Chains A and B, each alone.
Chain A
Amino acid sequence: MIDFHNVSVTYANGVQALRDVDLRVERGDFLFIVGSTGTGKSTLLKLIYREEVATRGTVVVDGVNVGKLRPGRIPKLRRSIGVVFQDFRLLPDKTAWENVAFARYVTGAPRKEIRTSVCEALDLVGLLDRSDAYPHQLSGGEQQRIAIARALVNKPQVILADEPTGNLDPETSWEIIQLLEQVNSRGTTMIIASHDQHIVDRLRKRVIRLENGAIVSDEAKGRYHELSKS
């Protein structure tokens, strides 16, 4: 459902973030993108939800050439993609409930329907009882759960997570990853950029390794470090 053909990204300052990336992600896949910071993991994700546009090559999401999307169509694309970040990115002035509901409101959904879907999402991440809390009243792990609830409330085809456990302790990280795996098991494609070696090695999912903006390995049941090198 996601196809990268010969994608290169060069930023205005001359930095080449991605080089000739070819990647195919099937519906329902669970994959890690690993590599040290600055190797283009975030850029790769940004291309999918059209925060960045490929300098060369094409990115196709669900049959749509994202790079050629008119600006007016971008919001619709983003509603079909859930995004989770290292720093949670919740709206500080809104409660947990409102943060999740916001993603539904932007689609113009009817109020009744919003109530049930937000309930479902918060229940799934186990925080229905914290609905009225503001982000600053929640722990990091709880905030990330709210962010995940927001990402999945629109029932997207794919969820992108950029270092979702980067700010969390190992135990909480593992809980978050298990939650993401649970969401994936319901059929949502999951793409996680991470440099959390422990988690990647423990899950043994598909692992794509980036080095200097190029894919250097793509293993079905990979580890953080390539076996051949270690």
Chain B
Amino acid sequence: MSFRSLEYAIVESFISIRRNGLMSFVSVSTLALTLAVLGAFGLLILWLHGVASTLPNKLEVAVFLEKKASKQDALEIRSQIAAMKYVKSATIIPAEIGWEEFKKNMGGQLELDGVEGNPLPDMIRVRVGDPRHIMATAKAIREMEHVDEVNEGRELVDGLVRFADLIKILGGAAGIVLFLVTIFIISNTIRLTVFARRREIKIMQMVGATNWFIRLPLMFEGMILGAVGGAIACGLIYVAANYIVKVVTKVMPLLAQFSISVEPLQFVGGLTLVGCLVGALGSMISIRRFLKV
């Protein structure tokens, strides 16, 4: 395959896209929609995974000490907890500070003026690196001396751990299925174009065109349509994502703090590249059976 044939193939693919305007439009639309679904799904998985993996870092085990425990006891317990295997950090919140925080947070909502003195005990805030180990860690802390109560948010932790695992497995599997479905749809769309040209392919073979000479323009055509479809899909996702973020922020403000940071250039480039790949693959699959001499 010489450089001249390559140049011819690229020029041919553009001419063909222009001449088969309607078919090109249909292909690009199909590509854009399927790629938008694929891309949006990818973002969703990315986001859910982000939530599931950052949330536990925000989770804390609250360890309440007995009222009678001294500051010295608190320090000792803190260092014991900090030495435990999965503990990332342990911070003492003295009763006074805890009370101030509580008053500040709840100030407007609760009538606290009638409360005499400080009803809160000293507290230790414990962060555990891996949410899987929160339960065991909490249990061990509960056995310690001077520990009155341990609050580990049992249901939330349990649910989150299971959720994160589920997303990894389901997301991966669904991603593969969706990718295959995308290729299937694309190759079917392109097959229509190729089928309409099977007579032309025969003629080209008769004139002495090699299979690659016939294949290359169609492959480039698939790649170009795929890239355009990918770019349009990015636009669709951008508009949809903005809208969804706006709605979610309004309805569930808590969720809004979990944003994903995606490099826009990387995402657009990635989806365009996937479009290229899918287009080329779809073309290859569709042409194959028409090239048998």
Contact = CB atoms under 8 A, between A and B. Distances in A.
- Same assembly: yes
B68 interface: no
Contacts, number: 55
Given A93-B16, A93-B19, A108 B4 contact: yes
Contacts of B203: 89-91
Contact of A92 (B16, B200, B210): B200
A226 to B, nearest CB: 33
B207 A106 contact: yes
Interface stretch (A13-21, A76-84, A124-132, A202-210): A76-84
Given A71-B293, A74-B293, A105-B8, A89 B206 contact: yes
Interface residues of A, number: 27
Contacts of A102: 204, 207, 209
A150 interface: yes
A79 B209 CA distance: 8
B225 to A, nearest CB: 17
A102 B5 CA distance: 11
A151 B4 CA distance: 22
Interface residues on B, range: 20 to 34
A103 interface: yes
A53 B87 CA distance: 78
A20 to B, nearest CB: 26
Contact of A78 (B4, B16, B207): B207
Interface in B191-244: 199-200, 202-210, 213
Consensus secondary structure, chain B interface = helix
B200 A106 contact: no
A76 B8 contact: no
B200 A75 contact: no
Interface string A96-130: 00000011011111110000000000000000000
Contact of B5 (A79, A92, A93, A108): A108
Interface in B153-200: 199-200
B90 to A, nearest CB: 73
A76 B4 contact: no
Contact of B206 (A49, A107, A110): A49
A110 B200 contact: no
A132 B88 CA distance: 77
Nearest to A108: B2
Given A71-B293, A91-B203, A92-B200, A106 B210 contact: yes
Contacts of A83: 206-207
A111 B8 CA distance: 10
A109 B8 CA distance: 11
Nearest to A83: B206
26 contacts: A49-B206, A74-B293, A75-B209, A75-B210, A76-B208, A78-B205, A78-B206, A78-B207, A79-B207, A79-B208, A89-B199, A89-B202, A90-B203, A91-B200, A91-B203, A91-B204, A92-B200, A93-B16, A93-B20, A102-B204, A102-B207, A102-B209, A106-B208, A106-B210, A108-B2, A108-B5
Interface of A: 49, 51, 71-72, 74-79, 83, 89-93, 102-103, 105-111, 150, 154
Given A106-B208, A106-B209, 13 more contacts: A75-B208, A77-B208, A78-B206, A78-B208, A79-B208, A83-B206, A90-B203, A91-B204, A105-B8, A106-B207, A107-B208, A108-B5, A150-B207
